[in-house]
Amino acid sequence: MTKPFATRSGVRRVIEAAIAAPSMHNTQPWPFYHLRDSVSVYADLRRRLKVADPLGRSLGMSCGAALFNMRLAIRMTGYEARVLTLPAPRSAPDLLAVVRTAQGESPSPEERRLHAAIPHRRTNRFPFDGHALPAEVVGDLAAAAGREGATLTMLRGQATRRVLSLVAYADRTLSGDEAYRAELAHWTADGLRDDGVPRDAFGPRPWDGGLPMRDSRLGTGTQVAVFEDDPQIAALLTGGDGPHDWLVAGQALQRVLLTATAHGVSASMFSQPLDLEDDRFGGRRDGAHGQVQMLLRLGYGPPVPAVSRRPLYEVPNARQWRC
109-117 and 243-262 helices, crossing angle to 10°: 90
Condensed to tens digits (0 to 9), the pLDDT of residues 57-111 reads: 999 999 999 999 999 999 999 999 999 999 999 999 999 999 999 999 999 999 9
Cβ–Cβ contacts within 10 Å for residue 181, how many? 16
* CA–CA dist 160, 298 (Å, integer): 13
Is the dihedral angle over the CA atoms 220, 62, 298, 54 positive or is it negative? negative
To which H or E segment does residue 147 belong? helix 135-147
pLDDT at 122 over 80: yes
Q: How far apart are CA 210 and CA 227, in angstroms?
A: 8
Q: How confident is the model at residue 213 (pLDDT cuts 50, 70, 90)?
A: confident
Looking at the predicted structure, is the pLDDT value of residue 229 above 70?
Answer: yes
Q: What is the dihedral of CA 119, 124, 130, 132, to 10 degrees?
A: 40
Burial class (CB in 10 A: 0-12, 13-18, 19+), 191: exposed
Q: From residue 171, how far is each of 54, 109, 302 by CA, in Å? A: 16, 41, 25
Q: DSSP secondary structure string, 99-112?
A: EEEEE-PPPPHHHH
Choose among 23, 117, 26: nearest CA to 61: 23
Cα(301)–Cα(298) distance, integer angstroms: 9
Cβ neighbours of residue 180 closer than 8 Å, sequence gap 6 or more:
51, 52, 174
Residue 277 has pLDDT above 70, yes or no: no
- The lowest-confidence range among 41-45, 83-87, 102-106, 216-220 is 216-220
Show the domains of the chain with their CATH numbers.
Answer: 8-121 (3.40.109.10), 135-299 (3.40.109.10)
Q: What is the pLDDT, as a whole number, of residue 141?
A: 98
Residue 85 confidence (pLDDT)? 97
pTM comes to 0.93
The count of residues in the chain is 323
Question: Which pLDDT value is given to residue 314?
Answer: 81
Indicate if the pLDDT at residue 282 is higher than 70. Answer: no
40: β partners: 33, 98
User: Given this model, what pLDDT does residue 316 score?
Assistant: 63
- Is the Cα torsion angle 298, 158, 151, 22 positive or negative in sign? positive
